[in-house]
Structure 1
Amino acid sequence: MAIDDDAGRCVSADIAAGISPAAALFHSLADENRLRIVARLARGEARVVDLVGELGLAQSTVSKHLACLRDCGLVDHRAEGRQSFYSLTRPELMDLLASAEHLLAATGHAVVLCPIHGTRHGTTHGAADARGALRAELDHDLERLDRQAGEIEGKTVS
């Protein structure tokens, strides 16, 4: 996705041409850095400076991706003095990402062999490392969400 300078919104040619909302959602999650930001925000709110330090990204990169995620309604912020604290708007986004991980596991990560997006055609080893880190973060977040759901239901989940 790119930032549309006229409107200041996160768009792509496909979205501007009217693709379905589901396709737009998945397109917004197609960037590895946006997924890393989402995974981090699933653990709690953070400032841009926090995300820069934790994810090792440039401030401009983090800000651009946060703007995109905000435009998509997946992230919002609250102001406290001169600082903005970002958080996920929809915790069920983590359920969607966990389902994607389960689907990848069930298909034997066949997407790695995809002629368009797989390692045979340009995906680097760094992407595999980042995918592993994201998977670990998602597992951690799912365990936390399971515990919270159990507490809400009045029972302890181990």
Structure 2
Amino acid sequence: MAMSDGPVPALSGEDLTPAVALFRGLADPTRLAILRRLTGGEARVVDLTGELGMAQSTVSAHLACLRDCGLIVGRPEGRQMFYALTRPELLALLTAAEGLLVATGHKVALCPTYGASSTGCGGNC
């Protein structure tokens, strides 16, 4: 999904499937918190559980998901595993999202379909 200065060409739903999966993965609050933390450098499960205030099993499950999606990688060192982002583009994406939220005044949080008080299903659940 490279961005250009011109108009974005229309794509079929099938062409958007990987992008939809990426954004669904990023939409989970725990996975997003882990990714945001990893933008600051690699971390172990114990670091993440302490910093995020989450159970080890929760953090481990989300790390496995992010690893399976190719967004993070684990580097073993002795009996410990250090996790890091796999691609610098992910940092750029998260930075761009933060900038967009600032530019819109976080209005997306008020969105009736996907905002903070919605069920995220647009009433189609």
Letter in 1 for 2:64: A
Distance 1:80 1:57 in 2: 23
Q: 1:31 to 1:119 in 2, by over 3 A?
A: closer
The runs of 5 or more residues in structure 1 that have no matched partner are 1-17, 123-158
Letter in 1 for 2:50: G
Identity %: 66
Compute the TM-score of the two structures, normalised by the length of structure 2: 0.76
Give yes or no for contact 1:77–1:87 (8 Å, CA) kept in 2: yes
1:67-126 deviation per Cα after TM superposition (whole angstroms, max 9, x unaligned):
11101111010111221111111122111011112222222322111112224447xxxx
Q: 1:108 to 1:57 in 2, by over 3 A?
A: same
Distance 2:109 2:61 in 1: 27
2:8 aligned residue: none
Q: 1:119 to 1:84 in 2, by over 3 A?
A: closer
2:113 aligned residue: 116
Letter in 2 for 1:40: R
1:105 aligned residue: 102
Give yes or no for contact 1:33–1:65 (8 Å, CA) kept in 2: yes
Q: How much is the aligned-residue C-alpha RMSD, in angstroms? A: 2.2
Equivalent residues, number: 107
Distance 1:67 1:28 in 2: 12
Farther off after superposition, 113-122 or 40-49: 113-122
Higher relative contact order (CA 8 A, sep 6+): 1
The runs of 5 or more residues in structure 2 that have no matched partner are 1-14, 120-125
1:92 aligned residue: 89
Compute the TM-score of the two structures, normalised by the length of structure 1: 0.61
Distance 1:46 1:84 in 2: 8
Distance 2:89 2:16 in 1: 23
- Runs of 4+ with >3 A deviation: 119-122
Give yes or no for contact 2:108–2:114 (8 Å, CA) kept in 1: yes
